[in-house]
Structure 1
């Protein structure tokens, strides 16, 4: 069985819910739904572009902690509370992934865990060996 490498970001929800920010097994990395929360603050306020930038920055750091990088990402899933703001979210996503171009999904959801949040992003990566 391959070794499981876990990453935590210190979120207060991680121990309560029982999850890791990212897990690497072999050359696969899964990153949990990630938002722009930092402690009690929502980074980027009510700006979907800024919230997306912050969430993707956390994902990037989490990938790096397990030996992966953004170029290894093959899929992202974006859960947004207001799909009419898709262009602002898409612009931020494009700034991180314009040359990588993973498969991506963006869907509107009724709510996220904190009503101040506009977007939550998951990522999957496969590290080339």
Structure 2
């Protein structure tokens, strides 16, 4: 059996080097997207707005998937971590804006804190990319 090719991408976050992780890793058809917060260029986005942070996060996840040849439609699982479960509906609705027709398996749990007190939401995603068609292989 041929070994699976592994591809890793960075979002450019300084924390990736400090902690030793990748934004996303593709092994064969499977893509794992690391816990993602609403941080762009070192700045927390949508401070105080859990739904807004969710939208930013999902755009970061979308970009990571696209860099690895995937799409949001390939996502099969998300995990949402929130610092206030009272915000579940706002986060859930923002998640639903993207995933209403895709319907991945999903969970949402409250955590005591995230790495920055301004982070209200963190999301992980897993995707399974389709096999290449026979025509594209020939």
Q: Do the structures match in fold with TM over 0.5?
A: yes
Q: CA shift at 1:59, angstroms?
A: 0.2
Q: CA shift at 1:38, angstroms?
A: 1.5
Aligned residues: 129
Answer yes or no: is the 8 Å Cα contact 2:13–2:42 preserved in 1.
no
* Unmatched 5+ stretches in structure 1: none
Match of 2:20 among 18, 21, 24: 18
Q: CA RMSD in A?
A: 0.7
Match of 1:62 among 44, 61, 64: 64
Distance 2:41 2:115 in 1: 14
Pairing 1:1-129 to 2, within 5 Å after superposition? 1-129=3-131
Larger radius of gyration: 2
Distance 1:37 1:49 in 2: 14
- In the superposition, the TM-score normalised over structure 2's length comes to 0.92
- In the superposition, the TM-score normalised over structure 1's length comes to 0.98
* Consecutive aligned runs of 4 or more in structure 1 exceeding 6 Å deviation: none
